[in-house]
Structure 1
Amino acid sequence: MRLLSPSNLASDFSRHLRPAAHIAMLRREVLDSFLRSRAQSQGAHLLPALLTSLSLPSSPLHPYLLHYIPSGAGAGAGPATSTLAVDVVVGADGANSRVARCIGAGDYSTAIAFQERVRLPPAGMAAYADLAEMYVGDDVSPDFYAWVFPKCDHVAVGTGTAAAKPAIRRLQAAARARAAPKLAGGVVVRVEAHPIPEHPRPRRVAGRAALVGDAAGYVARCSGEGIYFAAKSGRMCGDAIVRIWKEKGRVAEADLKREYLRRWDEEFAGTFRFLDALQRVFYGSNAAREALVELCGDEYVQRMTFDSYLHKKMAAGRPLDDLGLLWKSAGSLLRATILGREVERLRSL
């Protein structure tokens, strides 16, 4: 993992990964297909369809009614809507979740992630065989980062922002420019954009309906990682439903909040708050980003970061080292700020 500052100062951020540890890169089109097939092999009944609305039950004993259009329906005569009655709903339908809207889960702010899949010549792909890059700077994002991530036989080149969504194509062009020498000869094979939640929704459980993944707003600030938390929340919610059903024979809102939400918040809420604070401190200006890249060269920073990242919980630090890191952080921020001001002064002359 290589992090590059606004001035293109590079920090090889994974020099201190523990033996056999690695950062996984996923192709969602492959992973999602695998998960669906595995669910079906374990007894799930798949209904490829578009959910149009959700009718809420009139009492705790009545079912939810899911209204949907089956895939392939409506050719010629208009879409034919079908209805399915269910006891419990788990909304895993992304940042623009229809389930969330139907249950009144509330709004949240979102960022936009824009990326191009680029197929590189063999020499270019060889350079990214075991390398992922992150670029920070106002040119590529005012509040996040840009990336070049390997995806088996191609790379994903993209950027994200919540503050400058209308400028996303300009920011993407800047990201391509920063990595241009390494992308020479590449051919864009796909362009895609997705909303990314900035924080959890106000309500993640309502009645016998629960939200998981992006629908619930489980995306880590600073890194933008969502796939682990989507999978983990789905499993935690499913396990909770099974436990409640076996014990009581039915599911209620209080049970879901206790068995799913409380356990989720106990395990991950602190991590999310800490990453939110880091993003606010280090992604707010080019001076702070320069300081971030400088700090990422520190061995203790790298060990703490990867121990936390790989195990998805805050690693236990050493008090004296933590004090030293606080001092280094303050020094790096101050130095970068002073240098930034001097550069701006010289530019104005």
Structure 2
Amino acid sequence: MSAFVALPSASSAGPVERVHSLRGASEAPPAPAATSASTCATVAGVAALGAVAAAGQRRKHRAALAKGSSTTQMPKPRSLANAKVIVCAGATLPEGRKLRVAVIGGGPAGASAADALAQEGIETYLIERKLDNCKPCGGAIPLCMIDEFGLPKDIVDRQVKKMTMISPTNKEVQIGQTLKDDEFIGMVRREVLDDFLRQRAKKNGATLINGLFMGMTIPQQKNEPYVLTFNEFADEASNARKGEKKTLEVDVVIGADGANSRVAKDIEAGDYEYAIAFQERMRIPENKMEYYQDRAEMYVGDDVSPDFYAWVFPKCDHVAVGTGTVIDKKGIQRYQQGIRDRAAVRIDGGEIIRVEAHPIPEHPRPWRVKDRAILVGDAAGYVTKCSGEGIYFAAKSGRMCAETIVKSSKNGVRMIDEADLMEHIREWDSKYGPTYLVLDLLQKVFYTSDAARESFVELCEEEYVQKVTFDSYLYKTVQGNDPMGDLKLGWKTLSSLYKYNNQKTPDPMRTLV
């Protein structure tokens, strides 16, 4: 799933020692790096609590940096597994041989990583089992992603300029008044976006393999290769499940194979909590499709999700209607019926053309690096709480990881090691750690009851919330700093929460106007 949400921007600060744990992991949420502006409000409209939480985290981080602490090192019990070692530089590869990297998974994370590696001349293999991937995903991407990742304009099905937030009692709040004429949220189909990114990586030199990754043999000695086993399918178009068993030797493995990552299992990266996303692609009558020409909808309420939101997002010639939940996965069908009922007036007469379901990670895995294997995207757990946004962060993590490998290997002529890959983890946690911390807090505050959700939607009416939210989402950086605006919104937030939590049970008659 992917929806828009304001994100705090953080920058790496200060040099750090190249001293790492043997497993290269962060078992607790990373300490955030300093930011230059106050944090954010979510699309449903909370800036105050986010700003307060992030400000506290920034103060702690600055204090840690003053003492020379690393943002990725957390206190752990003393044990051999957590012993600290200083890893020496890797050896130069034999003349004429480049570093060999296998990327498992061809979604935004894997395809972006493969593309960045191949462009720098590194021997790159991209293994993807399902080349017509249609992950159940809202498909929202920020405006900055189009230029940053060189996406063609026609890859965007719809340019959303209006977002309607709908409360448990069907109160509607229209968001988007602060957008400029050339600003919008891009709505894409994953099968189109993913294919474009994969084909570009292939064009730039990556070897694209249509195959099912089965597992890998872990090196037992330094600089020994990983031996990957996979079933290669002869016909890319048909994706027939029977394939030819093959092996491949590589120096580095990037696991971009989603929430059910086989790479994560092989490197014992640990489990994480996950949500189930369920989505129906629905072709609705043309007169109803007109309403969704440049509009998306988000519904909140216990009837559509006990801990998340439901959505109706426009695509090229249809809408995606879906929901998600962590705490009641078995009830997903009931919540999907809930969003069908809530949106009935606007999707009545629609024909379901595709049904999709998929696990979505809720937080980073306990371990993301082991030796010369690393996880990115959903496999690493890079999906934001509260909004469920994952496309941009998947692509960004893949590219950032690849850039670290290129730099550390000196464009593929040097063998890298765990310490090199840990540089990527450190950079990622420093840059985006505050985002995950703040959105986790906001979800706990506003997705716990219908009273809190009513407050959540009411805050969307605030122009300040809308401006900070859209500016932050579209450009992935906080735009401006208004302490008075934060203070006023903080009071508004607390007042709204108090009001709705002390009201009688909301009117159960939920009829859309």
What displacement does 1:120 show? 1.0
For the pair 1:306 / 2:470, whether they are aligned, the reply is: yes
Match of 2:415 among 225, 250, 262: 250
Residue in structure 2 matched with residue 183 of structure 1 by the alignment: 347
What displacement does 1:60 show? 2.1
Residue in structure 2 matched with residue 211 of structure 1 by the alignment: 375
Measured in 2, the distance between the counterparts of 1:22 and 1:30 equals 19
What displacement does 1:18 show? 3.3
Measured in 1, the distance between the counterparts of 2:506 and 2:282 equals 38
191-200 or 15-24, larger mean C-alpha shift: 15-24
Cα deviation 1:221-247 (Å, max 9, x = unaligned): 111010000000000001110000107
Distance 1:25 1:239, change over 3 A: same
Residue in structure 1 matched with residue 177 of structure 2 by the alignment: 15
Q: Structure with the greater relative contact order (CA < 8 A, sep ≥ 6): 1 or 2? A: 2
What displacement does 1:80 show? 3.8
> What letter is aligned with 2:361?
P
| Matched pairs, number | 341
Matches within 5 A, 1:242-321: 242-246=406-410, 249-258=414-423, 260-321=424-485
Q: Secondary structure of the equivalent of 1:89?
A: strand
Measured in 2, the distance between the counterparts of 1:79 and 1:10 equals 51
Residue in structure 1 matched with residue 272 of structure 2 by the alignment: 108
Cα deviation 1:1-56 (Å, max 9, x = unaligned): 11000000011122212342111111001111111111111011111100011111
What displacement does 1:338 show? 1.3
> What letter is aligned with 1:262?
R
What displacement does 1:341 show? 4.8
Distance 1:210 1:342, change over 3 A: closer
Measured in 2, the distance between the counterparts of 1:206 and 1:63 equals 14
Residue in structure 2 matched with residue 171 of structure 1 by the alignment: 335
What displacement does 1:151 show? 0.9
> What letter is aligned with 2:418?
E
Q: Secondary structure of the equivalent of 1:138?
A: coil
324-333 or 63-72, larger mean C-alpha shift: 63-72
Distance 1:315 1:109, change over 3 A: farther
> What letter is aligned with 1:161?
T
CA RMSD across the alignment? 1.8
> What letter is aligned with 2:459?
L
Distance 1:340 1:143, change over 3 A: farther
On the 8 A contact 2:269/2:368 being kept in 1, the answer is yes
Match of 2:219 among 30, 37, 57: 57
Q: TM-score, normalised by structure 2?
A: 0.65
On the 8 A contact 1:199/1:219 being kept in 2, the answer is yes
Residue in structure 2 matched with residue 161 of structure 1 by the alignment: 325
On the 8 A contact 2:269/2:365 being kept in 1, the answer is yes
> What letter is aligned with 1:256?
L
Residue in structure 2 matched with residue 347 of structure 1 by the alignment: none
Structure whose residues are more often helix by fraction: 1
Cα deviation 1:59-98 (Å, max 9, x = unaligned): 121011111011149x99x754211000111111111000
Residue in structure 1 matched with residue 149 of structure 2 by the alignment: none
**Gaps (5+ residues) in structure 2?**
1-162, 509-513
On the 8 A contact 2:169/2:506 being kept in 1, the answer is no
For the pair 1:228 / 2:353, whether they are aligned, the reply is: no
What displacement does 1:100 show? 0.7
> What letter is aligned with 1:277?
L
Match of 2:402 among 217, 224, 238: 238
What displacement does 1:311 show? 2.1
> What letter is aligned with 1:294?
E
Measured in 2, the distance between the counterparts of 1:274 and 1:206 equals 28
Measured in 2, the distance between the counterparts of 1:21 and 1:66 equals 44
Q: TM-score, normalised by structure 1?
A: 0.94
Match of 1:84 among 242, 248, 259: 248
What displacement does 1:174 show? 0.7
Q: Secondary structure of the equivalent of 2:439?
A: helix
Match of 1:43 among 205, 209, 221: 205
Structure 1 residue runs of 4 or more that deviate by more than 6 Å after TM superposition: none
For the pair 1:151 / 2:329, whether they are aligned, the reply is: no
Residue in structure 1 matched with residue 493 of structure 2 by the alignment: 329
308-317 or 91-100, larger mean C-alpha shift: 308-317
Q: Secondary structure of the equivalent of 1:137?
A: coil
On the 8 A contact 2:304/2:338 being kept in 1, the answer is yes
Measured in 1, the distance between the counterparts of 2:506 and 2:206 equals 62
What displacement does 1:126 show? 1.1
What displacement does 1:317 show? 2.9
On the 8 A contact 1:282/1:292 being kept in 2, the answer is yes
What displacement does 1:312 show? 2.0
> What letter is aligned with 1:188?
I
> What letter is aligned with 1:144?
F
> What letter is aligned with 1:18?
K
Residue in structure 1 matched with residue 120 of structure 2 by the alignment: none
What displacement does 1:314 show? 4.2
The percentage of counterpart residues that share the same residue type is: 55
> What letter is aligned with 2:254?
V
Measured in 1, the distance between the counterparts of 2:478 and 2:362 equals 20
Distance 1:48 1:185, change over 3 A: same
Measured in 2, the distance between the counterparts of 1:266 and 1:27 equals 31
304-313 or 8-17, larger mean C-alpha shift: 304-313
> What letter is aligned with 1:239?
E
